[in-house]
Amino acid sequence: MRLGVVLEAFLDRTFDDTLALVAARAPQVTDVEVGVGGFAPHPHCDVELLLHDATSRRRWVESVKDRGFDVSALNASGNPLDPDEETARRHDTDLRNAVRLAALLDVDRVVAMAGCPPGAPGDRTAHFDAGGWLPHLAGIYERQWQDALVPYWTELAEFVHREHPDLLICIELHPGTCVYNVETFEEFAAISRQLAVNLDPSHLFWQQMDPLAVAGALSRIGHAHAKDVVFSSDELDLNGLLDRRWNAMDARAPWTFATVGRGHGPAWWRSFLTALGKRGVESISIEHEDPTMSAEQGVADGACCLAGALAAAKHTRVGVRAR
């Protein structure tokens, strides 16, 4: 399995500077995942230019190759189902352009989110239905899927198949979107074989799910992110995982994202990488969102942890064969 980095951690740096930094601080990394739209800015990739200018596209690819990297995925995580029409239109355009650009770059993974529509016609904000037994929540989840999610993604999947038949759209299982666990993904996956999971264990940890069990249960996994979580037991005892105050810098937060290895040790990550390998996943991208350290340090530490876990897993497999 190849190690990569989500370049969103370095939005304040130029593309060339970011590639140089990753090469120097995390020499174990061979892949980069490049943002091309959605929620986050994307200063490392001028999508319109690369779509329409073959010379600029060739130079951009050469700049990646010259540093010893390959592009494992393009990232266009957004909400194409947003009730704000301008936001929905922009995120839909970003996602479709990501598909078009992936075809031109010979990249076969685009990371995205399923999105979240309003709870009812006329709502001005998205509505995440995580519990529908109260009368004012009844039926929202079903209506969102039937009226918004299935029609949009059915048409989008047809577009993907026309533009790039070998591409997988890899959806993050992310609370706040309509697809956030095994059950919702399997319903989503029935729409098209070109829909897969981008498996990020951090979003499973804080839901109290088991990423190893999830990795074995999902029908399709196309890509993975490496990000950890740490919990505050005192806050969990009092306020639980749904605490509305979540803030990465708030000491009262029940949980926060963490650099790979700070929440779960190398042995766990070895098991996770082994599970992904069994499912045919070829690349995992370190996604730095740890508030306690710089991106430079977090990516370097994460790469060391993952490289060690990969080496240990390889040694274990060799040992088993030798016996």
In angstroms, the CA 217 to CA 211 distance is 10
**Both tokens of residue 48?**
């319109």
252: confidence class by pLDDT, cuts 50, 70, 90: confident
If you write DSSP's letter for every residue of 192-214 in order, what string do you get?
Answer: -TTEEEEE-HHHHHTTT--HHHH
250: confidence class by pLDDT, cuts 50, 70, 90: confident
Q: pLDDT of 57-101, one tens digit each? A: 999 999 999 999 999 999 999 999 999 999 999 999 999 999 999
What mean pLDDT, rounded, does the chain reach? 93
**Both tokens of residue 109?**
């993974």
**CATH code, domain with 71:** 3.20.20.150
137: confidence class by pLDDT, cuts 50, 70, 90: confident
Average pLDDT, stretch 290-311? 95
Q: pLDDT of 53-69, one tens digit each? A: 999 999 999 999 999 99
Instruction: Provide the domain limits for residue 125.
Output: 2-322
Please choose, from the candidates 11, 15, 14, the residue with its C-alpha nearest in 3D space to the C-alpha of residue 41.
11
- Per the model's pLDDT, the better-predicted residue between 132 and 223 turns out to be 223
- Return the pLDDT at 254: 87
Number of folded domains in the chain? 1
- Return the pLDDT at 251: 64
